[in-house]
């Protein structure tokens, strides 16, 4: 049985996704919707991490229930830089690159949820299937958000 | 006659449920004039969204007064105090009368050729060097239908830019999106006549007494008659509506969605729902029920800081209503989770089957007189005629109509919303912005930022207005426009009533109608269609209207049954008006049929929390038969919130005596005298804790700025302060920027409608001397 591996991998990928959302938000504070939404969506990943950690012990894995916080210093440096660069066009391209990386990262998390759900069904682990059923739709919404933002911003960034 | 400053709603004319609302004709004329001695010209009101039919008096080539139109279905002769006195602004000596251009850093008087040629030269240079994405248009909710439509064709088929939006983004974007999310398409379901029949009227964040005084008169007259309706009021302030309410719920700002989920929870838990209607006409009920199951009254009471029993009582009244009329405005639209909360109001009416019958309806309101036209003509983030930008068939219809290559018309993403346009300008990729009939330097959030963006030398700013606004001061070219009463056109109010507004007098000096200006630009740019014919084949309002009629044919906002002639003489007429409905349509969705069929709908919708677009295939799978969609969402806390007792919520809003940034109402003596200066309202407890008494000077600070205002104590819940947003700087006593409420507001917007949040900023307030302007 390797479901513990799937759980471990999901825990790792959701933890780093939450961190990535925060980092991207802080880097683009002058794009106000990106800044606010990234913080909100990081919260979804935090919540998933907590749920995965709760499910862990009954499947033989012990996982941290909250992701390690970003350093405050780095975080405020990122925010200050984003404000200082806020009036230049180059961050537009950087934002596109960041959203692209978010999209790909969420896609990987989505695949991990699918793997867990498939494994859980085969092993008849109802609690893990329930976990995936609860969390995976939110992962897909995170991905839809990144996709929508990419579509909206790309025309201006790539033609200006 | 009643003093309409002291009594804005005038004398009562009571009536009972189901009766016709009695007439009451209000008139105001310049002193010494006789109603028989003046010329009367048909029009409608432009200082709010109600769409009251009024006649303009003119005498010796000047506007000299107004009179309500008895025959009009909207107002039955009544006139709002702003309209009674606001016409005087037309005659103001400081009207813009000549074009201005920037020379050597300052604005100088010029002529039309010089001004227009500068705009054309800049446009052509930008198209050559940077492409159409470098040009944007920010228009209004105060122009006329013909003008929006013309501007939309110029932007999309002439230039090919996706950057066109209106200040309607600040007032009505959420109304539109709430309707699109639930019904797949824009279009006001209800009618003002629902007030005549309703047994419960629930007003959500809608201070109708000040925003639409004539509609409030209608409600007051029902309250004064036999079988009055119950009023449910949701508002953090003790508004006139709250004082008449059976239940007044005053939630903490930013918690509207939690409150709505609480009401839905009660209605569903008690099975006060119309199961047959839900089964026949909706999708998504189970998901809605599952979502709101998490919002029992006790939890909601805690989130919103309202009494659980008040919530239960409100739900019981709504749940037992036979004819439920729900109305929504800025308290929801300009707050956190705006679209989700407005959609929740739709959900409430839909699950109770309260739609499309007299008294049972939804009014998702507007803030401005012609906002509906901005929406339907495609100047508010949509394609004209409620067409779906993601539906290639819809875009092809436009390409055929305009005879241009489909690739010219941007449809690769949603049209750019105003806040994003400003962001592009801030980054320097949008380099020409043409602002018509609006004043972003006072009305947008976080004004220091806005002034910086609009004041950049790398941005070519065109301002088209009737007065030298705060925005015009930052412009490179200023174009003097004709005002209401000085041009002809039609416009449509919040309940789909179309009115004609005829020209009564000539515009002053060289000022020209906005339609003229747009057509002139098109001609100088020499925009052509695929066959080499002029793209804009019209020059006068009536031919522009006819062009729009062709565009509207077969769409929900069908104007094909209307004409200037038909609109003259009687009452306004509600669209759709076509061969099938020659007298217009009072209520939409009477038969439980919607415009949400996948190939016809205006939008496939968005995720209510993230704003992510819903894919066409997903829409088709969940709503193949075009039903009403029940979309739930959970409450999330606002992004900025008070951290201690020292900090308060700030909400901004209107006073009954002013409109927008006071460009007109501030120039009408009666209105200006009624509310000449900005004030801050806070609760007795919050005032006491800060040592502030009535009329004391106060300093209001946020991380973004500082405003000084006199205190008004009471009439608002604890923890919340209110500032009216009308006051800018054109008539300020000094040079600072400490008067406009938007110095303080946060830059944040709803994920779905992109409407900025003006109701959820955080401030600190202290008693302050005039010179104390220290920061946050």
Contact B607 A144 (CB under 8 A): yes
Q: What's the rounded mean pLDDT across residues B195-200?
A: 98
* Least confident span in B294-303, B377-386, B714-723: B377-386
Count of pairs with CB atoms under 8 A, one residue in A, one in B: 82
DSSP bridge pairs for B651: B722
Q: Are B436 and B409 in contact (CB under 8 A)?
A: no
Q: Does the beta carbon of B420 lie under 8 angstroms from any beta carbon of chain A? A: yes
> Is pLDDT at B497 greater than 80 in this prediction?
yes
Q: What's the rounded mean pLDDT across residues B106-128?
A: 98
Q: Are B75 and B497 in contact (CB under 8 A)?
A: no
Alpha-carbon gap, residue B557 to A103, rounded angstroms: 38
Q: What's the rounded mean pLDDT across residues B108-127?
A: 98
pLDDT of residue B500: 98
CA atoms within 13 Å, Cβ hemisphere of A78: 16
CA atoms within 13 Å, Cβ hemisphere of B175: 34
**DSSP characters over B609-655:** TT-PBPPHHHHHHH-TT--EE---------SS---STTEEEEEEE--
Q: Does the beta carbon of B127 lie under 8 angstroms from any beta carbon of chain A? A: no
Alpha-carbon gap, residue B518 to A41, rounded angstroms: 43
> Residue B733 — pLDDT band, cuts 50, 70, 90?
confident
Sign, CA dihedral B422-B426-B428-B431, equals positive
A9 conformational bin, left if phi > 0, alpha if psi -120 to 50, beta if neither:
alpha
**Which one of A40, A85, A160 would you mutate to disrupt binding with B, by most B Cβ within 10 Å of its Cβ?**
A160
Q: Are B169 and B417 in contact (CB under 8 A)?
A: yes
Q: At what angle do helices B256-269 and B297-304 cross, to 10 degrees?
A: 170
Contacts of residue A130, defined as CB under 8 A and 6 or more positions apart, other chains included, come to: none
* pLDDT tens digit sequence for B211-248: 999 999 999 999 999 999 999 999 999 999 999 999 99
Chain B residues 634-673 with CB within 8 Å of chain A: 636, 639
Nearest-by-Cβ selection for B130 from A31, A145, A160: A160
Alpha-carbon gap, residue A152 to B9, rounded angstroms: 46
Reference B726, options B765, B674, B686; nearest CA is B674
pLDDT of residue B294: 98
pLDDT of residue A152: 95
> Is pLDDT at B774 greater than 60 in this prediction?
no
Q: What's the rounded mean pLDDT across residues B754-758?
A: 97
pLDDT of residue A78: 75
Q: Which residues of A touch B430 (CB under 8 A)?
A: 156
pLDDT of residue B772: 60
* pLDDT tens digit sequence for B546-597: 999 999 999 999 999 999 999 999 999 999 999 999 999 999 999 999 999 9
> Is pLDDT at B770 greater than 60 in this prediction?
no
pLDDT of residue B18: 97
* pLDDT tens digit sequence for A14-36: 999 999 999 999 999 999 999 99
pLDDT of residue A69: 66
Gap from B301 CA to chain A (nearest CA, Å): 24
**Which one of A32, A43, A95 would you mutate to disrupt binding with B, by most B Cβ within 10 Å of its Cβ?**
A32
- 3-state SS string for A90-158: HHHHHHHHHHHHHHHHHHHHHHHHHHHHHHHHHHCCHHHHHHHHHHHHHHHHHHHHHHHHHHHHHHHHH
Nearest-by-Cβ selection for B414 from A88, A152, A156: A152
Q: Are A154 and A100 in contact (CB under 8 A)?
A: no
Q: Does the beta carbon of B414 lie under 8 angstroms from any beta carbon of chain A? A: yes
Q: Does the beta carbon of B575 lie under 8 angstroms from any beta carbon of chain A? A: no
* pLDDT tens digit sequence for B326-365: 999 999 999 999 999 999 999 999 999 999 999 999 999 9
pLDDT of residue B773: 62
Specify the higher pLDDT residue, B477 or B105. Answer: B477
pLDDT of residue A70: 61
**Which one of B162, B291, B410, B413 would you mutate to disrupt binding with A, by most A Cβ within 10 Å of its Cβ?**
B413
Gap from B751 CA to chain A (nearest CA, Å): 7
* Least confident span in A76-80, B508-512, B597-601, B682-686: A76-80
Contact A145 B428 (CB under 8 A): no
Q: Does the beta carbon of B604 lie under 8 angstroms from any beta carbon of chain A? A: no
CA angle, B68 as apex, B67 and B73 as ends, to 5°?
160
Q: Does the beta carbon of B455 lie under 8 angstroms from any beta carbon of chain A? A: no
Contact A41 B611 (CB under 8 A): no
Contact A88 B428 (CB under 8 A): yes
Q: What's the rounded mean pLDDT across residues B141-147?
A: 97
Alpha-carbon gap, residue B473 to B663, rounded angstroms: 14
Q: What's the rounded mean pLDDT across residues A132-160?
A: 96
pLDDT of residue B776: 63
* pLDDT tens digit sequence for B77-91: 999 999 999 999 999
Q: Which residues of B touch A87 (CB under 8 A)?
A: 426-428
Alpha-carbon gap, residue B107 to B459, rounded angstroms: 16
> Residue B104 — pLDDT band, cuts 50, 70, 90?
confident
- The overall average pLDDT reported for chain A is 91
**Which one of B423, B448, B457, B639 would you mutate to disrupt binding with A, by most A Cβ within 10 Å of its Cβ?**
B423
Q: Does the beta carbon of B400 lie under 8 angstroms from any beta carbon of chain A? A: no
Q: Are B43 and B568 in contact (CB under 8 A)?
A: no
């Amino acid at each position: 049985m390797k479901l513990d591996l799937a759980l471990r991998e999901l825990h790792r990928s959701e933890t780093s996704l939450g961190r990535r959302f925060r980092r991207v938000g802080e880097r683009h504070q002058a794009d106000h919707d990106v800044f606010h939404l990234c913080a909100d969506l990081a919260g979804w990943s935090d919540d998933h991490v907590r749920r995965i950690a709760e499910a862990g012990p009954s499947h033989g894995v012990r996982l941290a229930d909250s992701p390690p916080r970003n350093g405050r210093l780095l975080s405020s440096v990122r925010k200050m830089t984003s404000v200082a660069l806020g009036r230049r066009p180059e961050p537009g391209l950087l934002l596109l690159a960041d959203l692209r990386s978010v999209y790909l990262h969420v896609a990987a998390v989505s695949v991990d949820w699918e793997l867990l759900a498939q494994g859980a069904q085969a092993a008849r682990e109802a609690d893990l299937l329930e976990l995936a059923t609860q969390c995976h739709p939110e992962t897909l919404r995170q991905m839809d958000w990144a996709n929508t933002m990419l579509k909206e911003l790309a025309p201006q960034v790539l033609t200006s | 006659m009643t003093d309409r400053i002291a009594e804005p709603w005038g004398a009562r004319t009571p009536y009972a449920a189901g009766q016709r609302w009695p007439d009451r004709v209000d008139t105001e004329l310049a002193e010494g004039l006789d109603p028989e001695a003046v010329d009367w010209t048909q029009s409608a009101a432009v200082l709010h969204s109600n769409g009251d039919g009024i006649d303009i008096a003119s005498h010796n080539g000047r506007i000299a007064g107004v009179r309500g139109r008895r025959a009009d279905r909207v107002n039955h002769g009544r006139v709002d105090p702003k309209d009674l006195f606001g016409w005087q602004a037309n005659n103001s000596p400081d009207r813009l009368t000549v074009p201005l251009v920037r020379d050597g850093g300052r604005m100088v008087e010029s002529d039309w050729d010089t001004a227009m040629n500068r705009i054309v030269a800049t446009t052509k240079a930008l198209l050559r060097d940077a492409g159409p994405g470098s040009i944007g248009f920010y228009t209004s909710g105060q122009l006329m239908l013909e003008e929006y439509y013309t501007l939309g064709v110029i932007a999309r088929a002439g230039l090919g830019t996706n950057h066109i939006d209106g200040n309607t983004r600040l007032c009505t974007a959420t109304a539109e999106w709430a309707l699109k999310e639930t019904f797949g398409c824009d279009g006001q379901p209800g009618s003002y006549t629902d007030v005549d029949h309703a047994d419960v009227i629930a007003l959500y964040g809608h201070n109708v007494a000040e925003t639409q005084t004539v509609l409030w008169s209608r409600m007051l007259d029902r309250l004064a008659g036999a079988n009055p309706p119950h009023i449910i009021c949701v508002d953090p302030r003790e508004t006139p509506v709250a004082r008449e309410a059976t239940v007044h719920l005053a939630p903490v700002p930013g918690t509207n969605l939690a409150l709505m989920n609480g009401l839905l929870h009660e209605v569903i838990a008690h099975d006060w729902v119309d199961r047959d209607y839900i089964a026949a006409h909706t999708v998504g009920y189970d998901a809605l029920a599952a979502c709101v199951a998490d919002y029992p009254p006790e939890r909601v009471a805690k989130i919103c800081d309202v009494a659980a029993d008040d919530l239960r009582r409100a739900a019981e009244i709504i749940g037992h209503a036979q004819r439920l009329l729900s109305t929504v405005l800025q308290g929801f639209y300009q707050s956190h989770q705006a679209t989700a909360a407005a959609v929740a109001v739709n959900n409430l009416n839909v699950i109770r089957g309260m739609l499309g019958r007299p008294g049972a309806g939804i009014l998702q309101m507007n803030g401005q007189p012609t906002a509906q036209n901005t929406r339907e003509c495609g100047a508010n983030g949509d394609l004209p005629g409620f067409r779906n930008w993601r539906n290639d068939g819809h875009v092809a219809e436009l390409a055929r109509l305009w005879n241009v290559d489909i690739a010219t018309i941007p449809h690769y993403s949603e049209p750019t919303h105003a806040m994003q346009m400003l962001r592009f300008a801030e980054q320097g990729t949008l380099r020409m912005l043409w602002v018509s009939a609006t004043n972003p330097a006072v009305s947008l959030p976080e004004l220091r930022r806005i002034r910086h963006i609009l004041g950049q030398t790398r941005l070519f700013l065109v301002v088209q207005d009737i007065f030298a606004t705060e925005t015009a001061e930052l412009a490179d070219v200023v174009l003097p426009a004709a005002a209401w009463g000085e041009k002809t056109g039609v416009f449509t109010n919040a309940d789909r009533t179309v009115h004609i507004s005829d020209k009564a007098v000539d515009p002053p000096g060289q000022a020209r109608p906005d339609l003229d200006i747009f057509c002139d630009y098109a001609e100088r740019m020499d925009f052509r269609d695929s066959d080499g014919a002029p793209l804009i084949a019209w020059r006068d309002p009536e031919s522009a209207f006819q062009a729009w009629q062709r565009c509207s044919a077969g769409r929900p906002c069908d104007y094909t049954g209307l004409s200037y002639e038909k609109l003259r003489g009687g009452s306004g007429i509600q669209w759709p008006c076509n061969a099938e409905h020659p007298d217009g349509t009072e209520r939409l969705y009477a038969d439980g049929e919607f415009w949400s069929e996948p190939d016809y709908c205006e939008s496939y919708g968005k995720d209510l929390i993230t704003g992510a677009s819903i894919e066409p295939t997903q829409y088709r799978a969940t709503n193949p038969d075009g039903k009403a969609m029940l979309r739930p969402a959970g409450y999330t806390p606002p992004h900025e919130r008070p951290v201690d007792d020292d900090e308060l919520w700030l909400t901004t809003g209107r006073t009954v005596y002013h409109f927008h940034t006071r460009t007109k109402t501030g120039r009408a003596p009666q209105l200006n005298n009624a509310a000449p200066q900005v004030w801050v309202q806070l609760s007795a407890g919050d005032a006491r804790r800060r040592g502030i008494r009535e009329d004391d000077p106060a300093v209001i600070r946020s991380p973004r700025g500082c405003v000084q205002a006199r205190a008004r104590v009471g009439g608002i819940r604890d923890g919340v302060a209110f500032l009216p947003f009308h006051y800018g700087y054109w008539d300020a006593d000094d040079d600072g920027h400490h008067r406009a409420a938007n110095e303080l507001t946060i830059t944040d917007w709803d994920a779905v409608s992109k409407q900025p949040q003006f109701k959820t900023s955080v401030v600190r307030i202290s008693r302050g001397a005039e010179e104390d302007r220290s920061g946050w």
